[in-house]
């Protein structure tokens, strides 16, 4: 049990040390909100591209190509979306909150937190597995989020427009370029590859520090009932459903932890921006990100510890 405890702590503690550094940055006013916003945009547009390009370009797909895991991840996200939609419609009358509740429950912060969880447990060589799964999950997150938010505000669902937006996503572009260079055997000269890899290596620490620096409690009282439902759905119900199915289907090791990272990580930071831009309740969306991020330091540890004790990895 002690060994399992330290494995679980080792997976989570480094993540929240970096978030804690971000809180210190905020407390000391080292950066103002405008600077943090610009830094976050740079991380999203440049750093994530470099990280995912590096991971995919250097991957040996004979070892990591896993259609079964990718299909399960896509299917799990889709089922969770449907269940979240049904719950939101039955639970809340306001459409601007229904879309936010749905997104909060089915869309996790897998991109930022998923890779470090897998790496902290299995080492840097395991980073490529969640990177490949990101290629499936991120487009689905974007398409499903736009579709359900558009539906709840009475808009028109335009698949072509959404797909164009997905292809402009730097994460998808990094994965696509990495795939092209990898599969076509196009060599990247070391003087160019080295700085790309160095920037990629900075992505996760910097993203987590910025997440901590942008942490703000917001206004809670007016939406506490919906917020509580979102937190329970994202941090407890979604992992329970996802991980039970994964265990029953025989996923183990890095595969299982990759699924755990999809299921048990907090609400996606991007869900706030998307809700704000598409007529959702931005206050509720922001609070789901803030409070799920804070609580997940305990819940993620719990899920990792319990599944480690059960021999899932």
In the numeric block, the tokens 């990495």 are attached to: 178
Q: Crossing angle, helix 95-106 and helix 67-91, to 10 degrees?
A: 150
How confident is the model at residue 231, as a pLDDT? Answer: 97
For residue 219, pLDDT over 70 is answered with no
Specify whether the backbone of 265 is left (phi greater than 0), alpha (psi in -120 to 50) or beta: beta
Q: Using CA atoms of 304, 307, 310, 313 in order, give the dihedral in degrees to the nearest 10.
A: -80
Give the lowest-confidence range in 22-26, 72-76, 254-258: 22-26
Q: What is the mean pLDDT of the chain?
A: 88
Confidence of residue 310 (pLDDT cuts 50, 70, 90): very high
Over residues 244-250, the mean pLDDT reads 97
Q: 16-30, 48-62, 166-180, 266-280 — which one is most confidently predicted on average?
A: 16-30
Over residues 106-129, the mean pLDDT reads 88
How confident is the model at residue 221, as a pLDDT? Answer: 67
User: Taking CA 234 as the corner, what is the angle to CA 98 and CA 278, rounded to the nearest 5 degrees?
Assistant: 35
Stated length of the chain = 313
pLDDT, tens digit (0-9, with 9 covering 90-100), for 181-217: 998 999 999 999 999 999 998 988 888 888 788 776 6
pLDDT more than 90, % of the chain: 47
Q: 67-76, 159-168, 278-287 — which one is most confidently predicted on average?
A: 67-76
Which tokens is 289 given? 């990100």
For residue 306, pLDDT over 90 is answered with yes
Over residues 44-72, the mean pLDDT reads 86
Q: Is the dihedral of CA 275, 277, 280, 281 positive or negative?
A: positive
How confident is the model at residue 270, as a pLDDT? Answer: 77
Which tokens is 97 given? 């909150």
Over residues 269-295, the mean pLDDT reads 84
Tell me the whole-structure pTM to 2 decimals. 0.82
For residue 83, pLDDT over 90 is answered with yes
Q: Which residue has the higher pLDDT, 31 or 214?
A: 31
How confident is the model at residue 294, as a pLDDT? Answer: 83
Give the lowest-confidence range in 57-61, 72-76, 227-231: 57-61
pLDDT, tens digit (0-9, with 9 covering 90-100), for 123-175: 888 888 898 898 888 888 988 988 898 889 876 667 787 777 778 878 788 88
How confident is the model at residue 278, as a pLDDT? Answer: 83
């Amino acid at each position: 049990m002690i060994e399992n405890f330290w494995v679980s702590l080792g997976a989570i503690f480094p993540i929240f040390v970096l978030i804690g550094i971000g809180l210190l940055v905020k407390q000391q006013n080292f950066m103002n909100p405008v600077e943090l916003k610009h830094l976050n945009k740079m991380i999203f547009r440049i750093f994530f591209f470099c990280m995912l390009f590096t991971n995919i370009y250097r991957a040996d797909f004979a070892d990591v190509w896993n259609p079964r895991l990718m299909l399960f991840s896509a299917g799990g996200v889709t089922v969770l979306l449907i269940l979240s939609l049904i719950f939101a419609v039955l639970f809340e009358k306001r459409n601007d909150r229904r879309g936010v509740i749905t997104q909060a429950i089915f869309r996790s912060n897998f991109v930022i937190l998923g890779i470090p969880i897998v790496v902290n447990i299995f080492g840097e060589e395991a980073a490529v597995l969640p990177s490949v799964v990101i290629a499936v999950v991120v487009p689905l997150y974007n398409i499903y989020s736009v579709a359900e938010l558009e539906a709840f505000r009475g808009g028109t669902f335009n698949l072509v427009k959404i797909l164009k937006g997905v292809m402009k996503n730097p994460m998808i572009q990094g994965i696509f370029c990495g795939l092209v260079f990898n599969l076509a055997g196009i060599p990247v000269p070391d003087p160019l590859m080295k700085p790309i890899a160095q920037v990629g290596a900075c992505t996760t620490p910097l993203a987590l520090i910025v997440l901590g620096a942008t942490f703000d409690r917001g206004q809670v009282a007016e939406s506490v009932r919906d917020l509580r439902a979102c937190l329970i759905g994202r941090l407890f119900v979604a992992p329970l459903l996802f991980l039970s199915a994964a265990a029953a289907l025989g996923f183990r090791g890095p595969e299982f932890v990759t699924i755990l990272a999809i299921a048990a990580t907090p609400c996606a930071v991007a869900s706030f921006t998307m809700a704000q831009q598409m007529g959702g309740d931005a206050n509720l969306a922001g609070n789901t990100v803030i409070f799920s991020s804070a609580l997940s330091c305990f819940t993620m540890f719990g899920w990792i510890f319990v599944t480690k004790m059960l021999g899932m990895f």
